[in-house]
Every structure is written in C-alpha cells, then in structure tokens.
Amino acid sequence: MTYARRTTRQIHVGPVAVGGGAPVSVQSMTTTKTADVDGTLAQIYALAGAGCDIVRCTCNEQEAAEGLARIVPRSPVPIVADIHFHVEMALAALEAGVQCLRLNPGNLRKSSEIKLVASECRDRGVPIRIGVNAGSLHPDLYEKHGGATPEALVESAQMELAYFEEVDFHDVKISVKASNVPLMVESYRMLSEVTDHPLHLGVTEAGPPPAGLVKSTAGIATLLLEGIGDTIRYSLTADPVEEAKAGRQLLESLGLRERKGLDLIACPSCGRAEIDVIKVASDAMAALESRHLPIQVAVMGCVVNGPGEARQADLGIAAGRKRGHLFIRGKIVRVVPEDEMVAALVAEAEALVRDGFEARLAAADAGAEPEAEADRRALLTAQGDDPNAVEHKVDLIRKH
C-alpha cells in the first residue's frame, strides 16, 4: 500500500534530493561541540550507520565554523549548519563548505542580513531551510496573532520566503515546528496549502523517550500519511543515534523507505506463553540487529497461536513444551531445544538472506510439521482450547 505524496519542487542537500518525489530522508543533529572535529565526526559516522541521510551541526562561534571546514570533507553525509542570531556565522559556514544552512527567522531578523545570506547561497548553489520554531517566533508575529498559532508560524515562513524571492533565491525547504503536536500538525497542513517548497517535519523539543518518541511519531506520522513531508527529524533528549533509528524505522514501517535492517515483531505475551518472551525477544534483537539482515523476524510466546499469528513474518520462532518451533512464513521448518532458540533463529536468518526462501523451505526437516503439531495438540489438551478456535462454540450457541 502506498500513500499519495504532495507534489513539491526538489532541492538537493549535497547529493541527497529532498522533495519532488525523492525518498523521504532522515535527519538528526550532533550534540558535540562542533569545534571538536573528531568527536563530531564519530557521531556523524554513527548517525550515518543508523540510517541518517543528513546531519546538522551547530555553527554558533568561529571555532565551530573552523570545525565545519574540517568536518565537511570527511563526512559520509551532507552537513547542514544550524544558524541562530549571527549572520557572520552563516557566511562562515558557507566558507566551510556546508551543503545547507538552517536559518531561524525568529532570531535572524534584519532583512538586509537575510538577503545577504540568501544571495550568497544562490551564488554557491547551497539550499536553506527556513526553520520556524513556535518557541522562538518573531515577537511582532507573536503579538499580531496573539501567540504562536499556526497562522503565525506560516506567516513567519512566508515573510522569510518573500525576502529570498527578492534576491531570486528559491532553493528552500521549510519547517514550522512546535512541541505541541496538534499545533505542529495544523501548522504544516496550513503551510502545505500555500507553498510547494519541500517540508522538513519535526516535533521540536519532544523530550526523552518514550514520551518524546510518541509525540514525534504522532506528529510526523500523521502528516506523512496525509502525503505531507519530505524529510524528517526526531528531536529527542537522547543519543542522536536514537533519533536516526526512530526516523528510519518510522519511514520503513510506513513503507516510505526500503527495509535496510531487521524488523522484529514479538507477541505481547500472555498466560499461554511458554517462555520469557521479553528476554528471548531482546536476546534475538541484540543478536540479529548487528547483522543488518533486511528481514522481518517474529518471536512468539507459544506454539498454539504463534506461527499462525505471525504467518506474514519472514522467519519466526514459537515456544512450547521446552522446545522452539522455527517457522518460515508460517511453515514449521525445524523443532529445536529451548536453550538453542535464539542461536537457531540467528543461523536461519543468515541462511535465509544468503540462500533465499525457496532453498530454505526445501531444506526443512520432514518431521518438523508433525512434531510441532503433536506439541500443539498436547498444549491444547493441557491448557484448554485454542482461543482463536471458537467456531464449535458458536455452533453450540446457535443450537440453543
């Protein structure tokens, strides 16, 4: 299933296309001092490894700009310089060779300075993100609209765009972030009606996980499902690698980016569980994640419902009677001792990626299905009916 995306013009942040039908990109921001070149590069490499397409670094002082000059040529992904207040930092970041600037219209307010930066960007072919933020809105707009309303955020972006247009600069993406999710969603909806520039989505200052993840996902996913948004950033009070992972996972789960890594699904566990599902799932996650296998793996707590409930998973394991039933797309291929479940899952995942589904289904143990069925029957006898097999009860009810 795919979602219709809003049509926008396209810009390029270095080699990464944004808008105009390009894949939605993932962004994050370093938390190191930008002057710390090695520390910042280490974080950029970690972010790129976690699926981040574009990284932003603050450029708040001369040492930061000098750091950017050393970071940009060694970075595996394009770098955006984050600018607040100081026009000279914007110009210094351009000299450092950054692939994009982020300007905050709320604190870089002089039209002459805004137009100077836009002219420089135009001449150098460097795009700008207009980064409106509800928390640092231009005071005049705050007063005019009686607060940080969607109308005020959108007007701030439009004022900045008008300055850019005066100097014939159009290489722009826009964000209108707020920490309040309904305000953020409404602001982007309104903005998407009045501009065809690509939009950078984010819930600003969302806080630490899990609340920060929930808020960010609520805002970003709502808009993406409406076709709005071309690049995204989770703003978490956490290691930025968590932001990149969350962004990537959201896009993969919405089918907006190809699966790059593992998708682990696990049952929530219940009274039927034959194992500690939480432990087995986290052991499997730890063992599989580092291998970057692009498959969906299920860990199910019981053999009664497990394989059926996770039939759509590429590979899975369900526990029962001190054994694990290993299944590929719902078909039992092996029965393994309980203490070998995670190891068997990892080995089969690697074999599946290496040899393909047909080969691994052909290599299934012939006795696995009947053995698994015997376990299932024994558990049904011991635990009671399959909670999903209710048809005979319905028949009895109808006879009354």
8 Å CB contact between 346 and 316 = no
Judged by CB under 6 A, the stretch of 11-19, 115-123, 134-142, 295-303 that binds ligand SF4 is 295-303
Mapped onto helix, strand or coil, the DSSP state of residue 11 is strand
Encoded one letter per residue, x for contact with ligand SF4 by CB under 6 A and - for no contact, window 301-330 reads: xx-xxx--x---------------------
Encoded one letter per residue, x for contact with ligand SF4 by CB under 6 A and - for no contact, window 213-232 reads: --------------------
Torsion angle of alpha carbons 162, 164, 166, 168, nearest 10°?
A: -130
Q: Site for ligand SF4 (CB under 6 A): which residue of 68, 94, 267, 315?
A: 267
Q: Which is nearer to ligand SF4, 195 or 305 (CB)?
A: 305
Tell whether residue 382 is a contact of ligand SF4 (CB under 6 A).
no
Q: Which is nearer to ligand SF4, 41 or 277 (CB)?
A: 277
Q: Which is nearer to ligand SF4, 186 or 309 (CB)?
A: 309
Judged by CB under 6 A, the stretch of 22-30, 113-121, 170-178, 300-308 that binds ligand SF4 is 300-308
Q: What is the DSSP string of 297-329?
A: EEEES-TTTHHHHTTTSSEEEEEETTEEEEEET
Judged by CB under 6 A, the stretch of 12-20, 106-114, 206-214, 298-306 that binds ligand SF4 is 298-306
Mapped onto helix, strand or coil, the DSSP state of residue 170 is coil
Distance of CA 107 to CAs 79, 158, 159, 169, 328, Å? 21, 15, 13, 20, 56
Can you tell me the distance from the alpha carbon of 394 to that of 392, in angstroms, rounded to the nearest whole number? Answer: 5
Judged by CB under 6 A, the stretch of 4-12, 57-65, 263-271, 326-334 that binds ligand SF4 is 263-271
Tell whether residue 106 is a contact of ligand SF4 (CB under 6 A).
no
Q: Which is nearer to ligand SF4, 170 or 393 (CB)?
A: 393
φ/ψ of 3, rounded to 5, equals: -110, 140
Encoding tokens for residue 239?
A: 């290691």
Tell whether residue 268 is a contact of ligand SF4 (CB under 6 A).
yes
φ/ψ of 245, rounded to 5, equals: -60, -45
Tell whether residue 298 is a contact of ligand SF4 (CB under 6 A).
no
Tell whether residue 273 is a contact of ligand SF4 (CB under 6 A).
yes
Residue 299 CA, chain-centre distance (Å), reads: 22
Helix, strand, coil percentages (3-state) for the chain, rounded to 5, are: 45, 20, 35
Q: Site for ligand SF4 (CB under 6 A): which residue of 119, 180, 269, 383?
A: 269
> Which residues sit at the interface with ligand SF4, rule CB under 6 A?
267-270, 272-273, 300-302, 304-306, 309
